[in-house]
Structure 1
Amino acid sequence: MVDLVDIALFSLVAIVFIPRIFGTNKRTTNTSTIPIMINRRGGAMIPRRRVPIAPPPDRHDEQQPSTPTSFYEAKPEDIITVKDILSKVRNIPPELVDMILDRAEYWACSATVIDYSNHPQHKITILGARPAQDQFLLRTEPLGLTKWTMSNQDLWRVESAPKRLKKEYEESDLKELIDGSFSTLEHPFRKVVFDIVSCDQGWSSDNVNHGQYTGSWTWFDAGLERFDQENECVPECPDNLGSEDLKGTTSIPTCAIRPIWPVLENHHDDDAITRYHHELLPNEDHLIQRNKHAIGQFQNHHVEWSWDDDVDPDSLAARTLGEAGRGRGTGNGEFLRNLKLGDMITVWGRARFPGWTNNIQRVEVKVYWAF
């Protein structure tokens, strides 16, 4: 007798690959000379099976983005169809359906890209020891909210206002902005993939560390943002949407975004005025990637964080992460396991001390979640 799980997996494989064989995906190309943050919702190549959390110490020069095993792009509506077939046609419990799809890594994806290759200098530059040595680069769309749409492009492309979060939205309210049902898994956000093309100034007086990640003072951090339910748009706010009840609207205003990290601090001991607090040295829990020390050619860094990573920040394995330019605290999976529905991941570019320059050509973030 054919096992029920085998039937379910056969149905999944058929649905995943038949469109790939008999159909094509339409793609659009942005040819503007102005760098634009591009969000692609719900279209994702099926990810490759798990790769090592960090490259071997002697192969740092060979870091390249992983090649997906398939070019089929699974959208949330595709996943909804598969779940309906498995649960209704095959009478498989929803919890088991979620386990089957997760085992197959049939996940939804939100991809965000900022590309400066069409910029006049083909890059942007962050200078250390300058007022703009900490720069916001991009944010992902609110995780899992497939029905959310941004209300203001200008606010979306810049760092959120330095206002403290007063009240988070309840998950039950946010689920109003989801197509279909959300995953029953305890940690639905499974993986985040960063692809960064960048380099430093190409020289330094520290000759010992040239070509290594040690002593590099240009890097990238992952931040976090959430919506504030108590947000109120002021009359001059670009959103100008008012503070409507979520249940009566199809979206949440962009001006309701609040920073969780980087944290905020009081400006000149005035509780009424807050500003971002940017740490002088890299934060090991948020450090995505350093640039190679004194290497002026653009490097392509590919970094993956997974919900089931389990590297102790104080272990020898974490030391390997540090040798590869990553934060020692980013290998324990906590960042992914702590993500909530509606969260937004941000990327910040940094440079420290005179002479250090962070040259950035392209940043892409893909977040995979069990739908």
Structure 2
Amino acid sequence: MLTSVGRWLGIWVPSESGHGADTPSSIEAAEKAHHTSYQPSIADVLVIKSMLTKGLHLPLELVESIVDQAEYWPRTTTEVDYKNHSDHGLYTVGFSQVANDSENELLLRSVPLGFHTWPPKSPSLGREDLYRTSIPPKPPGEQFPADAFQSLMNYPAPLVNHPCRKIVFTIRSRDQGWGGSNQHHFTYHGSWTWFEAGLERWAKKSGENLETQEQPSLALEDLSTVYPPVILEGVDETAHKFDHPLLPVEHLKIQCNKTAVRDILEHRVVWNYTDEMSPETNLADLGRGTETGDGKFVRELQLGDVVTVWGKNRFPGWANYVEGVKIEVYWVV
């Protein structure tokens, strides 16, 4: 029924094969659907839902199911393309003049979940800098309730606390083109350059009256960081630092570069809230985190959450060269 209704509305409906192991045919079909399917706006989704409820007199629960199964979701996109931002067309993790950490670097952040734009409320920063500027490590405090974000939106806010449905990461990068064990060359094994997802959110400020803090500021400098974890630095209880483990964090690892490959490769990694990878899917062979196949990261995102991408490299001689990064976030309305 969902498929026929979706086709009648002109909405692309995914096949009933589910979100199991990636196969060449399923990947090819997903890529084709991504480039040919219509990307609705928030207004488009609301119009379709109104047509189904008022025009066809369908119950709201069924309408929500149809729209969700058809993946008819609005999205936001943030992107940095170093072909246009750098003289060399590449960005090298750890070689930035402003980097505080030579092996771990923030590359990009998304629009806050549930917002179609991010108001540039940071007084000292331009709009572009909102998406690429590092912030001091600040541990999250008491969270704002969902309705604190809903009151800041200029459209009927999502009715669920966890509205995220899909995140698409597109990364164009390579390593230094040499090094590592010979048996790992041209594979995703033995790679010490990779990318991880992070999470930022607004929380109530400690030291102030929590009851009077009714809304988040949406200012960049007020964001706290959930991933990577923030820990105390030394004995000073006011000084914090990011906790970056030496090894990749498998439930956050988006993608690693192929080992000893000099050509820029593009990787498009999709995290879906319904992901349930089969045990036969060897994500390590694809260069992905071995614990990213369950959809948990997507399902647990809350209104206002900000997704980030961190570039990583380890050990002398290894270099992570980045040509571009893009984050697409889809959510239910």
TM-score (norm 2): 0.84
Q: 1:365 to 1:293 in 2, by over 3 A?
A: same
Higher mean alpha-carbon deviation, 282-291 vs 112-121, is at 112-121
Deviation track 1:24-47 (CA, whole Å, cap 9, x = no partner) reads: xxxxxxxxxxxxxxxxxxxxxx69
The match for 1:340 is: 302
Query: Is residue 55–residue 63 contact of structure 1 (8 Å, CA) maintained in 2?
Result: no
Aligned twin of 2:108: 138
Q: Structure 1 runs of 4+ off > 6 angstroms?
A: 5-8, 62-65
Alignment of 1:48-197 (within 5 A): 55=22, 66-67=31-32, 68=34, 70=36, 72-118=38-84, 119-127=86-94, 131-146=101-116, 148-152=118-122, 153=126, 154-184=129-159, 187-197=162-172
Deviates more, 1:208-217 or 1:145-154: 145-154
| Secondary structure of the structure 1 residue equivalent to 2:322 | strand
8 Å CA contact 2:176, 2:318 repeated in 1: yes
Counterparts of 1:201 and 1:88, CA distance in 2 = 58
Q: How many residues end up aligned between the 2 structures?
A: 316
Question: Match for residue 253 of structure 1?
Answer: 219
Which residue in the other structure is 2:330 paired with? 368
Residue matched to 1:322: 284
Whole-Å separation in 1 of the counterparts to 2:206 and 2:30: 39
Contact 1:95-1:184 within 8 A present in 2 as well: no
Distance 1:163 1:180 in 2: 30
Correspondence 1:215 to 2:184: no
Question: How far apart are residue 87 of structure 1 and its match?
Answer: 2.3
Letter in 2 for 1:12: L
Which residue number in structure 1 is paired with residue 241 of structure 2? 275
3-state SS in 2 of match to 1:194:
strand
Q: Is the 8 Å Cα contact of residues 94 and 105 (structure 2) preserved in structure 1?
A: no
Matches of 2:207 and 2:323, distance apart in 1: 36
- Does 1:355 pair with 2:320? no
Q: Deviations over 1:288-307 (max 9, x none)?
A: 00100000110111111111
1:279-290 mapped onto 2 (5 Å cutoff): 279-290=245-256
Kept in 1, the 8 Å contact 2:144–2:215? The answer is no
Check whether the contact 2:171–2:266 (CA below 8 A) recurs between aligned residues: yes
Q: Residue type matched to 1:211 in 2?
A: F
CA distance in 1 between partners of 2:280 and 2:255 (Å): 18
By how many angstroms is 1:244 displaced? 7.4
Measure how far apart 1:190 and its partner are.
Answer: 1.4
Which moves more between the two structures, 148-157 or 351-360? 148-157
Identity %: 33
Amino acid at match of 1:135: E
Determine the C-alpha separation between the residues in 2 that align with 1:133 and 1:225: 20
Q: Is the 8 A contact 1:145 1:174 kept in 2?
A: no
Question: Would you say the 8 A contact 1:64–1:302 is kept in 2?
Answer: no
One-letter amino acid matched to 1:230: K
- Among 220, 234, 259, the residue aligned to 1:293: 259
After TM superposition, give the deviation of residue 78 of structure 1 in Å.
1.3
Kindly indicate whether the alpha-carbon contact (under 8 Å) linking 1:203 and 1:295 is maintained by their aligned counterparts in 2: yes
Hey, what does 1:27 align to over in structure 2?
Answer: none
Tell me, yes or no, if the aligned pair for 1:65 and 1:302 is still in contact at 8 Å.
no
The answer (yes or no) to whether the contact 2:250–2:289 under 8 Å persists in 1 is yes
Question: Residue type matched to 1:353 in 2?
Answer: F
SS of residue matched to 2:52: helix
3-state DSSP of counterpart to 1:226: strand
Equivalent AA in structure 2 for residue 326 of structure 1: R
Deviation for aligned residue 1:134: 0.7
Change (3 A) 1:64 1:275: farther
| Matched letter for residue 107 of structure 2 | L
Which consecutive unaligned segments of at least 5 residues does structure 2 have? none
